[in-house]
Amino acid sequence: MSKPHPILARRIFWDVDFDKLDYDAKAGFIIERVFERGDVEDIRNCRRYYGDDKVVDALLRAKFLRLDTLHFVSAIFEKPLEAFRCYALRLSNPKLFPY
């Protein structure tokens, strides 16, 4: 018997077919998308469904998170910014100087 899927807002997945989401195979994608575009209730439901260990692992391996999301996740899970892959990628790709 499988777990019931988390109740997430359809607006978070505006660019994919929401009814065909594979919650187990695409866990990393779903977790990143919920933390980027979801509200507090979506984040809670995501954490209940996947568990904090899987959520932290997916977020640590994410290639991109907005800076505000990165700080939010770092504070929630008490992980240093340097532990996140997206933070290291951001530092290795500096922006051009504004002239």
- Asked if 18 and 10 touch (Cβ cutoff 8 Å), the reply is yes
pLDDT mean for each 10 residues of the chain (99 residues): 82 92 93 95 95 96 93 95 90 71
Q: How far apart are the first and last CA of the chain?
A: 60
| Alpha-carbon gap, residue 23 to 42, rounded angstroms | 14
Q: How far apart are CA 34 and CA 37, in angstroms?
A: 5
Per-residue model confidence (pLDDT) at position 3 = 77
Q: Where are the domains of the chain?
A: 10-92
* Residues in contact with 44: Cβ distance below 8 Å, sequence separation at least 6, in sequence order: none
Q: Say if CB 34 and CB 8 are below 8 A apart.
A: yes
